[in-house]
Structure 1
Amino acid sequence: MSDGAGQEPIRVCFPFVGDDVGGSHISALKLIQNLDRSRVEPVLVLQEPTGPLATFLQRQGQPFTGLPLSKTLPAKGTSLGDIANYLTTTLPCMLRFIREQRFDIVHTNDGRTHVNWGIAARLAGARLVWHHRGDPDAKGANVLGPLIADRMVTVSRFSRPKHPIRSLNGRLSVIHSPFDHPSAIPDRAAAKAALLDELGLEPGTRVLSFIGGLIERKRPLLFIDIIERFAREYPQIPIVGCVFGISPAGSQDFEAAAMARCAERGLGRTVRLMGFRSPIEPFLAATDVLVVPAVGEPFGRTLIEAMFLGTPVVATDHGGNPEAIENGRTGFLVAPEDTGGFMQPLWRLLSDPLLWTRISQTARDQAFVSYGTDRHVESVTEIYEGVLHSPSRHRPGA
């Protein structure tokens, strides 16, 4: 345990459920892997130590600690029975763990860990850093977070809580997610040839991709509608729409819905469900245009990763997208929920090589200037050091 004066590294707990893998996990992992161990000692904790996230972390060579918890509060729809089980079974276990591990800070990153670990951190005497990566109207970020968080971090200006029950003045920071600058850009021609070969398509086929978790706000079904409409309006341009991603555990099954929509509309060869792929860079490099129909997306990782690789982006003018894309210069922004709005930017990029090259290079240059891991890590580390110097509560293990 650190005394906040730099004598020992600050011990930070990063808890996750572990039943899925998404952008928040990747961002948190990049932070964890790049923290200066002389200043911060991170400990990644999984409630499901044999789940999908554990498998992902093992492939990344990232150690973690397992803490199976059978009765946790859901992020939404909490019942009296859930609360009773949490208070009598789960909470005492978490309090013991936080105190025995002598954590200075608990850094939560998603709805379920905000609720469960945030309360435990507060009661155990550890400081709480609440990393909000979601909807600005989210109940937790507007009600529970302002009450119990020592500091709140949001990934974009858009995702700042709209109606916090208690002022967050002096406790809220906007810090964009960490991005590693690619050391090498995949060979686009080779990557595309490999993808088209896998799909059994002709070499001249243009690739439009959707990359991300299959959840409502990312609008995977709208992507299918966009591909269908473009193929109908511009039959002279052969395209394939690739959906990279899966539905997170416990969420609506958009994979089944996507398959049903494709079958219903005869899009079996035009739209392909590719599942979860890692690393994603070769597939981003194989993509001619990344299509981002999301609404309310706080700050999508894939959008910035595409910019780093020089893959042009057409995205909705909503959420955190306008904070990343300058319309007509580093990509294109279109009205949300409107398939027609995507048509002209897609046509222009696929039919004008000079425009494609200009957008590609400008976006890539901008990404290298604006985004990086070092800046993110230093900003978060300063928050850790700051909360330990602020007026203290009871310290864990004291």
Structure 2
Amino acid sequence: FRQYPQLAQKKIIMMPGRISRWKGQLDFLAMMAQLVQKRPDCHGIIVGGAEPGKEQFLEELEKERTRLNLTDKVSFLGQRNDMTTLYLLANVVCHMSTKPEPFGRTVTEALASGTPVAAFDRGGAAETLRACFPEGLVKPDDIKAFAQTALSLIDNTRPEIEIPWRFRLEAQTESTLKVYETLLARKQAQQ
């Protein structure tokens, strides 16, 4: 809060992910424009840096933020190394990719920290939410429905989030080791 005093006493709506058009930051700004009309106590944060060659898109996002009168309602935090703290600070995390992703890591990280997530119903993010927090699923590309879902999640201080074993690091490590053990067993059987 010392670095970003505008976040104090606000409901934080977080959009994590590198700055890239398909990650959905333009949709996030459009959604925030609707959200703050109903909940002026909300503040959006876009967390992630612009990769080389994407700086022009960051400038486009900043211009769109100004056009939507969100300059005092949305902050760009850039690349961060304190994601755990930011997930815990956020009231809602948004995943708004414009095309399906195989696995939205930010979705799982946010849910694992107990923060509700709203995401378009497509790709890996949708699979994760179906398993862990189906209340966060939103019809793809429906900005109005996304704002409504975010509104419904903002004050949910104890969301029912269930992280299945298969999403945990231990399960993924075990699964990977089993692949190696199977391959080693086959190789030994062939010798």
TM-score (norm 2): 0.84
Residue 298 of structure 1 aligns with an amino acid whose one-letter code is P
Q: Aligned to 1:283, which of 86, 99, 102? A: 86
Structure-2 separation of matches of 1:326 and 1:283: 24
**Residues 1:268 and 2:71 aligned together:** yes
| Structure 1 residue 265: Cα displacement | 2.8
| Structure 1 residue 285: Cα displacement | 0.7
| Structure 1 residue 336: Cα displacement | 1.5
2:167 aligned residue: 371
Superposed CA deviations along residues 309-338 of structure 1, whole A, max 9, x for unmatched, are 111111100111221113995541111222
Higher relative contact order (CA 8 A, sep 6+): 2
Q: Aligned to 1:214, which of 19, 22, 40? A: 19
Q: Is the 8 A contact 1:231 1:238 kept in 2?
A: yes
| Structure 1 residue 272: Cα displacement | 0.6
Distance 1:211 1:300, change over 3 A: same
Q: Aligned to 2:157, which of 357, 364, 367? A: 357
Q: Aligned to 2:136, which of 310, 324, 332? A: 332
Superposed CA deviations along residues 225-259 of structure 1, whole A, max 9, x for unmatched, are 11112113x0x441111000012234574322211
Q: Is the 8 A contact 2:31 2:146 kept in 1?
A: yes
| Structure 1 residue 198: Cα displacement | 2.8
Of 324-333 and 272-281, the range deviating more from structure 2 = 324-333
1:204 aligned residue: 9
Superposed CA deviations along residues 256-315 of structure 1, whole A, max 9, x for unmatched, are 221121133332111111001113100111101001111312111111111111111111
Q: Aligned to 1:310, which of 110, 114, 119? A: 114
Structure-2 separation of matches of 1:268 and 1:312: 25
Q: What percent identity do the matched residue pairs reach?
A: 24
Q: Is the 8 A contact 2:32 2:147 kept in 1?
A: no
Q: Where does the alignment leave 5 or more consecutive residues of structure 2 unmatched?
A: none
Within a 5 Å distance, the mapping from 1:291-306 to structure 2 comes to 291-294=94-97, 295-306=99-110
Superposed CA deviations along residues 342-366 of structure 1, whole A, max 9, x for unmatched, are 122122223xx4xx1342xx21xx2
SS of equivalent residue, structure 1 residue 201: helix
Q: Is the 8 A contact 2:45 2:77 kept in 1?
A: yes
Superposed CA deviations along residues 191-248 of structure 1, whole A, max 9, x for unmatched, are xxx3xx432227431110000112233111111111112113x0x4411110000122
Q: Is the 8 A contact 2:165 2:171 kept in 1?
A: no
Structure-2 separation of matches of 1:256 and 1:317: 28
1:323 aligned residue: 127
Residue 323 of structure 1 aligns with an amino acid whose one-letter code is E
Within a 5 Å distance, the mapping from 1:84-103 to structure 2 comes to none
Residue 174 of structure 2 aligns with an amino acid whose one-letter code is E
> Which one has a larger percent helix, Structure 1 or Structure 2?
2
Of 330-339 and 284-293, the range deviating more from structure 2 = 330-339
When the two structures are aligned, how many residues end up with a matched partner?
187
SS of equivalent residue, structure 1 residue 298: coil
Structure-2 separation of matches of 1:239 and 1:279: 21
Structure-2 separation of matches of 1:386 and 1:370: 19
Structure-2 separation of matches of 1:348 and 1:266: 23
Distance 1:237 1:309, change over 3 A: same
Runs of 4+ with deviation above 6 angstroms: none
Superposed CA deviations along residues 37-86 of structure 1, whole A, max 9, x for unmatched, are xxxxxxxxxxxxxxxxxxxxxxxxxxxxxxxxxxxxxxxxxxxxxxxxxx
Within a 5 Å distance, the mapping from 1:118-137 to structure 2 comes to none
Residue 13 of structure 2 aligns with an amino acid whose one-letter code is L
Structure-1 separation of matches of 2:47 and 2:181: 39
Structure-2 separation of matches of 1:328 and 1:343: 20
Residue 305 of structure 1 aligns with an amino acid whose one-letter code is E
2:179 aligned residue: 383
Q: Is the 8 A contact 1:215 1:252 kept in 2?
A: no
Q: Is the 8 A contact 1:308 1:368 kept in 2?
A: no
Structure-2 separation of matches of 1:312 and 1:207: 12
Residue 171 of structure 2 aligns with an amino acid whose one-letter code is R
Q: Aligned to 1:240, which of 43, 47, 70? A: 43
SS of equivalent residue, structure 1 residue 325: helix
| Structure with bigger gyration radius | 1
TM-score (norm 1): 0.43
